[in-house]
Amino acid sequence: MKRISIASNCILLLAAFIQLQLAVAEDQPSDYARPHFETARPSASNGTQPDRAIHADLSIFADEAWILPVHSALLSPGQITSRALNMPDLRPFFLVGEDPHSLAWLRQRADKLQAMGAAGLAVEVADTEALGRIRAAAPGITILPVNGNDIATRLQIEHYPVLITATSLEQ
């Protein structure tokens, strides 16, 4: 089994929460870069923020097959007891696996998860096909394959699927 350092897992987790911004060095991009700037530059017509969360599609940046399979020995599918959390400024995220219970949970909550801007961590994934099934259950939501053992230890959880927000841990 491939061993991935904790630093690599943290980088993947944090990448889901980073919003890329474009910095333009000069007012007139070169002819080569112009098409990219025109499609990537946000509209300057209104100074408002988008009314829904923006999810980055990180799958276009890297082939994730190198990290698979992902196995989180401290987590398994099952029921959790909801409880309050006090983690100010934590962006919502959830843990899922490739099991039928996780896929059904994702399908049922996809709209809610997307509306709250939650990112997903697939903590039990055998291969790219399984990761594809997980992502298909919640289209438009960033879901990354990550070992969840550290999260399980820190939050004292044993099961998934689970939604973690700044104020609660729930299924």
Asked if residue 85 is part of any domain, the answer here is yes
Strands 162-164 and 159-160: unpaired
| Residue 54, pLDDT score | 52
In this structure, how many other beta carbons lie within 10 angstroms of the beta carbon of residue 58?
16
Q: Is residue 70 part of a domain?
A: yes
- Got the DSSP string for 72-111? -TT-EE-----EE---TTPPPEEEEESSHHHHHHHHHHHH
Cβ atoms of 133 and 102 within 8 Å: the answer is no
Domain around 12: 6-19+52-170
pLDDT tens, 51-85?
Answer: 555 555 554 545 788 889 999 999 999 999 999 99
Place 170 in a pLDDT band, splitting at 50, 70 and 90: very high
Tell me, yes or no, whether 69 lies in a domain: yes
User: Is residue 56 included in any domain, yes or no?
Assistant: yes
Instruction: Evaluate whether residue 29 is within a structural domain.
Output: no
Whether 38 is covered by a domain: the verdict is no
Number of domains in the chain: 1
The reply to whether 155 falls in a domain is yes
Cα–Cα distance, 52 to 72 (Å, whole number)? 31
Q: What is the CATH number of the domain that holds 90?
A: 3.40.30
Q: What is the model's pLDDT at position 111?
A: 97
Please report whether residue 35 resides in a domain.
no
How large a percentage of the chain has pLDDT more than 70?
Answer: 64
113 C-beta neighbours (distance < 10 Å), count: 23
